[in-house]
A = this chain, B = another copy of it.
Amino acid sequence: MTSKLHLLANIRIVLCQTSHPGNIGAAARAMKTMGLHQLYLVQPKKFPDKEADTMSVGAVDILQNAQVCETLQQALVGCAFAIGLSARKRQLSHELVSARQAASQAVEVAGTQHVALVFGTEMSGLSNAELDLCQLLAMIPADADFSSLNLAAAVQVMCYELRMGLLDDAVENTNAATPLAANEEVEGFYRHLEETLLKIGFLNAAEPGRLMQRVRRIYARARLEKEEVNILRGILKHTQHPYPPKGN
C-alpha cells in the first residue's frame, strides 16, 4: 500500500480576515499535526505577531512561509476547487455537505490539482461574496444551540478529515483525466458571462447581483473542466457576435 499523504501538499488552508493572531498560530499548529503546510492569509488583522508564534508552538515554519493576500481571489490563484466552511445554513443554498464528505471530495481533486479550504472570520464566518468564490460549502456537524467552533478547532477537524480521507484505502482517484478549470479561469468566464447578459438585456445593469449569483451557483455545482470553460466562452462569443463569417 503506497501512502497518498503527499497529496496534502496540494491542499491549502485560507483564513480570511482573522481577528486574533493567536488563532492563526493555533491553526498553523493544527495543520502541521495533520501534515498540511500551505497557509494563506487574506487581510489578517495582525500578522506577523508574537501571539501567533506562541500559539503555533512548533509550527512557526508554517507562519513564516504563509502567503499574505489582499483578496480571497488572490489566495485562490491556481486552485481548481475551493471549499468554504460555514457554521450555519445559508439562504442561498450552495451545495452543502458535511466536513467528511467535503474532505473526501477535496482529496480526490488533490490527486491532480490544487484545492483550498476557506475559513471566514471568527465572528461572522465567510461573507456571501467570499462564498461566491467557492464551489462547495462544508459544515462541521455541531450542536444546533452552540455551533460555533473555535477557528483553529475547525481547522483541526477539517485537516484531520483530509488526512483520514487519504489514509482511507477506499479512496480511488477517478476523474484524474479531465483537469478542472482554475479559479481565475472560472472567474474569467463569469465576467464574460455577466458582460454578455448585460448586453442582451437579461441582466439589469442597475442590479445584476442576485440573479448573477444564482447563475454562478449553477456552474459552481457543475465544477467546470478547463475545456468546458472554453466551450461556454465560445457560446458567449457567438451570443455577442452571432453568425460569424465563414472560416471561423
List the interface of chain A (C-beta within 8 A of B). 26, 29-30, 32-35, 57-59, 89, 93, 95-101, 139-143, 146-150, 152-153, 156-157, 160, 163-164, 167, 170-171, 174-175, 177-178, 197, 199-202, 211, 214-215, 217-219, 221-224, 227-228, 231-232, 234-235, 238-239, 242-244
Roughly how many angstroms separate A34 CA and B139 CA in the complex, as a whole number?
13
* Number of chain copies forming the complex: 2
Closest B-chain residue to A220, C-beta based? Answer: B222
Given the contacts A97-B171, A222-B222, A197 and B33 also touching, CB distance less than 8 Å: no
A175 and B141 in contact, given A26-B150, A148-B33, A157-B157 (Cβ under 8 angstroms): no
Measured between beta carbons, the chain B residues less than 8 angstroms from A143 are 32-35
Complex: how many Å from CA A202 to CA B228?
14
B235–A101 touching, CB < 8 Å: no
A14-B147 Cα distance, complex, nearest whole Å: 22
Please state if B218 and A222 are interface contacts (CB–CB under 8 Å).
Answer: yes
What residues of B have a CB within 8 angstroms of the CB of A218 in the complex?
A: 219, 222, 224, 228, 231-232
What distance in Å separates the Cβ of A147 from its nearest Cβ neighbour in chain B? 6
12 A-B pairs within 8 Å (CB atoms) are namely A30-B153, A34-B142, A57-B150, A95-B175, A96-B174, A98-B171, A140-B160, A149-B156, A200-B243, A202-B238, A217-B228, A221-B223
Q: How far, in whole Å, are A149 and B177 apart by their CA atoms in the complex? A: 26
Q: How far is the CA of A244 from the CA of B215 in the complex (A)?
A: 20
Answer whether A33 and B178 are a contact pair too, CB < 8 Å, given A197-B235, A234-B202. Answer: no
**Which residue of B is nearest A62, CB measured?**
B146
Known: A148-B33, A149-B156. A214 touches B231 (CB 8 A): yes
CB-CB under 8 A for A244 and B96, given A149-B33, A157-B160, A221-B222: no
- Which B-chain residue is minimally distant from A223 (CB atoms)? B221
